[in-house]
Amino acid sequence: MNYRHIYHAGNIGDVLKHIVLANILKYLQKKDAAYRVLDTHAGIGLYDLTSEKSQKTGEWQQGVGKVLENLDAAPGPVKNALVPWLETVENLNPGGGVHFYPGSPEIACMLARKQDRLTLTELHPEDFEELKNNYGGDKKVKVIALDAWLALGSFLPPKERRGVVLIDPAFEVEDEFDRLADGIIRGWKRWQTGIFAIWYPVKSHRTVDQLVATLKEAGIRNTIKLELSAGQVSSDQPMKSSGMLVINPPWTLTKDMNAALPWLCQTLSQGKGAKWSVEQVITE
């Protein structure tokens, strides 16, 4: 494993993923009952954007950086949709700006109530040690060095019977979408009422369509697809596009993302082809 998320923390893909996650968690908190978060590719959880590794790419500047720069001009419905995520960013940076950026474990920890629980799995040895240092002392959190695909078979269903599974692979290997489909189906069969939030890079719409078809064939229902593309700076550069599939989404999520994504698309656009979409790809 070579992937280290520190080089990409706070980029446009993170913005999409973390807005979705934060809104799901806020929805789950409408009931007092405890929930469980299973984060299968947890990373280190908290990112210093002034570090040498983060500064090497500077991807956050075109993601969370741009959002914060333009937030004051955002319409009210947009701000409302961004609030659950923005609060976690602002709590880490009380002086303003964005020195520290919360990964999904940090967002889940910051939003968790005393009754809620987290299971964080990470396979990269260096990232796991940092993850353990960051969260190993928190009684609400289990930090485990384990392959994500094994985690989906080991920790579902959770005893809380409510919650969300976040799956965001590094996509380092050629057959990652096949492994992703297998992992989702395995996890869903064990916990068919759980919310599954799956992040992916948009490199080929055919590949994404095939993933959706495979999930539908397995019996999965009620799935939405959210995509956000910043377009192309120039013709020789790839599209900066990513998406999420959400199985059993909160009923509020489509409304929130229909409010947020048009503004995010305009704000984060880097050139020709910037676009967004919210689509129900598998019906109930």
Q: Is 41 annotated as a binding residue?
A: yes
> What are the strands, taking DSSP E only, across the chain?
36-39, 46-48, 100-102, 117-121, 141-144, 163-167, 195-201, 223-229, 241-247, 275-282
Instruction: Tell which residue, 196, 119, 122, has the closest CA to residue 165.
Output: 196
Q: Is 124 annotated as a binding residue?
A: no
Q: Is 18 annotated as a binding residue?
A: yes
Q: Is 176 annotated as a binding residue?
A: no
Instruction: Tell which residue, 50, 7, 27, has the closest CA to residue 251.
Output: 27
CB within 8 Å of 88: residues ≥ 6 apart: 18, 22, 102, 106, 107, 110, 111
In angstroms, the first-to-last Cα distance of the chain is 37
Q: Is 205 annotated as a binding residue?
A: no
From residue 127, give the alpha-carbon distance in Å to each of 25, 49, 121, 180: 24, 16, 10, 21
Q: Is 236 annotated as a binding residue?
A: no
Active-site annotation holder among 168, 175, 178, 182 = 168
CB within 8 Å of 157: residues ≥ 6 apart: 190, 191, 194
Q: Is 148 annotated as a binding residue?
A: yes
Taking the C-alpha atoms of residue 267 and residue 65, their distance in angstroms, rounded to an integer, is 11
Q: Answer yes or no: are the C-beta atoms of 15 and 268 closer than 8 Å.
A: yes
Q: Does the annotation count 168 as an active-site position? A: yes
Summarize the annotated binding site as residue ranges: 18, 41, 104, 122, 147-148, 168
Summarize the annotated binding site for S-adenosyl-L-methionine as residue ranges: 18, 41, 104, 122, 147-148, 168
Which amino acids are annotated catalytic? 168
